[in-house]
A and B are shown apart, each in its own frame.
Chain A
Amino acid sequence: MLLVPCPNCGPRNSADLRYGGESHARPDPATATPQQWRGYLYLRDNPAGWLWETWYCRSGCRRWFTLERNTATNEFRNPPIPGDKRGGKA
């Protein structure tokens, strides 16, 4: 089981957290086209490599945060960012 570095609780089993999936910014609902909005809902880059993801520490501090994981090796780099959802993206 993956060990996830929660910024508040330290390294935790991934089963202690909820996986929020690939980080993505929410488009402005006032101007979003259907294509943009459905990209936000359904389309993910799914790279074999470095990826910003969101996690929720549901059994600990109950904070959402993002962190960067290499999906091919399960390494993490950079400290997790609490309260973030966008990761490296604008």
Chain B
Amino acid sequence: MTMSRLAAQPTEVLDRSTKLRFRWNGKRFDGFEGDTIASALAAAGEHVFSRSMKYHRPRGILTADYWDPNLLVQVGDDPNVRAGHRRLEAGMDVRAQNVWPSLHRDIKAANSLVARFLTAGFYYKTFMRPAWLWPTYERVLATFAPGGKIDLDTPHRYHDKRYMHPDVVVAGAGPAGIEAALAAAAAGARVLLVEHEHAVGGHLRYSSSDSDQAVLAELRAALDASDVEVLTNSTVTGRYEDNWLGIVQRNHPIAVERLIKARAKVLVAAPGLIERPYVFSGNDRPGVITSGAARRLINLWGVKPGERAVVFTANSDGDAAAADLARAGVEIAAVIDGRDHRRVSSAQGSSKALQAVVAGGNRIEADLLVVAAGWTAPTSLLNMAGDRPVHDPAAARFFPSDPPGNVLATGGLAGDGTLDELRAHGAATGRLAAQRAAAVAHRLQAMTARARPVDGDEPAWAPDERTPLGRDPHPELYRSDTHGMVDFSEDVGSKDLVAAAHEGYDSVELAKRYTTSTMGPSQGKLETVNTVAAIAEARGETIAQVGTTVWRPPYAPLTLGALAGRVFEPVRVSSIHPWHEANGVSTIIAGQWMRPDHYGDPAAEVRNVRTNVGLIDVTPLGKLDLRGPDIPKLLNLLYTNKWSKLPVGKVRYGMMCSEDGVVLDDGVTGRLGSEHYLMTTTSSGAGGVWEWVENWLQTERPDWKVHVTPVTTAYVSINVAGPKARELVSRVTEGVDLSPESFPYMEVRLATVAGVAGCFMWRIGFTGELSFEIHAPSGHGLHVWEALMDAGQDLGVGPFGLEGQRIMRLEKGHFIVGQDTDGLTLGPSTGLNPLIKLDKDDFAGLPELAWAADRSLPMIVAIQPDDPNVVPDEAGQIVRGDTNEILGRITSARMSPTLGRSICLGQVEPELAAGGTKVTVLLTSGERVSATVMDHHAHFDPAGERLRG
């Protein structure tokens, strides 16, 4: 196979005035603007591009397009680049993948000598036992994996996303697809036309016929003049419910790849046909190419694919290839016509080049074998819409069966015809798509008439009155009288598939997974039909009887970067955050929030709160503003305790349970006015509780008058905690008497703090110290925080973070919903039985809690390891003695700076819940330590004298 550059071709896409210099395996090469990597290398005479996956056989060009399985290369730090598709750029560093030490001297090619042992299921059979060797197997086999190399130091590159709502999306811009897009747009639809290749035109692009080129020019001009949005080098990768489409755009000016999510009212599938390789001995030898590859090389890139060719043709495209080859100066040694029942039996030669073709018993010297054996219909998008295409043996390919009405097929997928017939079918499809899109739009709008009133009746669902395309007869050519390669990506031959069928893997879905045929990078585009045909042959059945595998998304691969796209999820910070950052904060991401975890030494922060006074930013605390006369009823329904008699200015703690009695959330709610309450929730539960409240109000008690407004982010929340908290707060507060007599524990006031009116001030806290919790309007949050810091310098005021608060709440034995409780923790397990008022008429979870009252349940208890220096792991198990019988687990554990010992909360079986019980805790190290269950949840100040101070 000797390839070289031809003189300029009329149809070529090259700019021969722009030379591009690049490297291939370290050597310098030149190409032209418009070349693909593969065409530039082919023009320079390169004919081996990769080594096959299992046998490391040398591989050359097969299809010379995106689907070519032999043209996966590494470009810089970008692995698995499709050299048959990727446009050449100056300075590219292109390397062969899966070769060692080099492309031309590949040691693993020795695999091909033992090919008869590497049969179907070889890996499954050989590397099964012993199981302890699996990690070794995996390490060694990984070095045989065919992919490129990932560079972990690759700089971050920009990916993007776009959302679209077109009426009609046309997938495929061949003549039928372009006509469909033009007709739909002319009928008033908003149309997106998506083309996989670098330019529109489909098979017309590489046709040397003058009339084809005239039509292509006409279609391009019409597209330019239309309102159709055209995306080239882009692929519709998936079709999901209600025509939700994933489209990957590879030629975005800034983003490496852009993922477009489009909601199409109607999808037109016009992907054309993919040429199918023919199975015979040596069919993967460099020099054996498809007819499409020959025509693309000659007509698009001016590459002469060989010197002396044999053409095996069973259709007009093969005939056209023969004509193109002759015109390009390739000597035609023989044309073997598959329509006359003639076959190619083998391609022979050295390991790297074709030397002769054997057909009908004759050996013909040649360096090029061009094969036109038939077509594969890429029915993927129809499959994804639920269609099960059917095989027509007379035309030797699959056709759509019954796709849903909002998915239409045209072009080669739908049938055969003259160019005029294909264009007419495309135009009719476009008109039908526009009509149906209008009906879909009307229906969607009518369903939601409250949102947008809709005029008139729904347009009738347009019947499909398109003149169907014909089906050209085509010989069924899958395998010749010899065995050859079926899946070029995975190195699966027809022999392997026959062996798999004989071993009992005779269902196509099983054989596929057992042999891995169709599971490589080409994902069935080239090999599915030959795979099915091999199984059918082994079973003595037809292709229709065997059926085909289901094509699933993505139709073409896309990068993980494209899927990730830009990160849209915002991180929330409070308005105090700049102060935290200026003061050495270590942050922690909690839910949507970035929160101060500590400022260097959490233990010191704890000691400062216990002796002086500290400030913590607890802004993420969930806050719901409740207004209306029926709030007490709502609170009685949501919380397990009673709320009818809460006076204005008072605050109460409540626990919420789900309808199954499991603890859902907890927090305090205060009464600010006769019909005005503020409910607080856990930080992580803020969103969920709001939905929960709305659910009850909207669906179960719609007659109750309560209005709920989430104000979590409207207020900054600061907890001032410590023995000197009152002194500090008094220095900046106006309008409230802070004395314990007039503002005792568990009350709430409206106050002016640091000159900011409208702050809520609560006498509550999680730390067990005298605490004032201030909710200040968000915009003034930083000012209030700084005012408190300034005013308290002489009191030793300092900040404390989440970690310090967690330690202190654990010292106090306060459980955290979701940390110390789980999805099975019933209300009574918290030890808050007095707060579960079973004599209420109704509240969420009442029946389950009533039934649970008679049962003994696992309990949340405080636990102290007998060795005060041992801090068990959170989620460490509590076991029975020396056994592994699990009797509970540690849910929270810390070293207490206040007590100078380790402290825990845990959940234990009822038999262990009594104070003084000895339990065994299993550490991660495997060591067992003894610990004691405490009388109270609180390790520190169980009487709560400090917080009432």
Contacts and interface: CB of A to CB of B under 8 A. Distances in A.
Contacts of B695: 20, 56, 64, 85
A10 B445 contact: yes
A51 interface: no
Given A10-B452, A64-B699, A76 B447 contact: yes
B848 interface: yes
Contacts of A8: 448, 450-451
Given A6-B448, A10-B445, A30-B842, A56 B847 contact: no
The listed residue with most A CB atoms (<10 A of its CB), out of B444, B447, B452, B660, is B447
B694 A74 contact: no
Contacts of A54: 699
Interface in B431-465: 444-445, 447-452
B242 interface: yes
Contacts of B240: 1
Nearest to B699: A85
Interface in B673-710: 691, 694-695, 698-700, 702
A39 to B, nearest CB: 12
Nearest to B842: A29
Contact of A29 (B444, B702, B846): B846
A5 B444 contact: yes
What bracket does the count of chain A residues touching chain B fall in?
Answer: 35 or more
A31 to B, nearest CB: 10
Contacts of B945: none
Contacts of B263: 3, 13
A88 interface: no
The listed residue with most B CB atoms (<10 A of its CB), out of A7, A11, A74, A85, is A11
Nearest to B690: A62
A41 B244 CA distance: 33
Contacts of B132: none
Contact of B444 (A7, A10, A58): A10
Given A1-B240, A1-B241, A40 B699 contact: no
Nearest to A63: B698
Contacts of A83: 698-699, 702
A54 to B, nearest CB: 7
What bracket does the count of chain B residues touching chain A fall in?
Answer: 20 to 34
A50 interface: no
A76 B447 CA distance: 9
What's the dominant secondary structure at chain A's contact region?
A: mixed
Interface in B402-454: 444-445, 447-452
Interface in B573-589: none
The listed residue with most B CB atoms (<10 A of its CB), out of A20, A29, A63, is A29
A5 B362 CA distance: 68
A80 B842 CA distance: 29
B691 A56 contact: yes
Given A34-B851, A64-B699, A7 B450 contact: yes
Interface string B848-873: 10010000000000000000000000
B841 interface: yes
Interface string B267-297: 0000000000000000000000000000000
Nearest to A79: B447
Interface string B641-681: 00000000000000000011000000000000000000000
Interface in A32-88: 32, 34, 37, 40-41, 54, 56, 58, 62-64, 74, 76, 79-80, 82-85
16 contacts: A3-B242, A7-B448, A8-B450, A10-B444, A10-B445, A18-B691, A26-B659, A29-B842, A37-B848, A40-B659, A63-B698, A64-B695, A64-B699, A79-B448, A80-B448, A83-B699
Given A8-B448, A74-B241, 18 more contacts: A1-B240, A2-B242, A3-B244, A5-B448, A6-B451, A7-B448, A7-B451, A8-B450, A10-B445, A11-B444, A20-B695, A29-B846, A30-B841, A63-B698, A74-B242, A79-B448, A79-B449, A80-B447
Interface of B: 240-242, 244, 263, 444-445, 447-452, 659-660, 691, 694-695, 698-700, 702, 841-842, 846-848, 851
Which 9 interchain pairs have the tightest Cβ spacing? A85-B699, A10-B451, A5-B447, A3-B242, A1-B244, A10-B448, A11-B444, A64-B698, A5-B448
Interface of A: 1-3, 5-11, 13, 18, 20, 26, 29-30, 32, 34, 37, 40-41, 54, 56, 58, 62-64, 74, 76, 79-80, 82-85
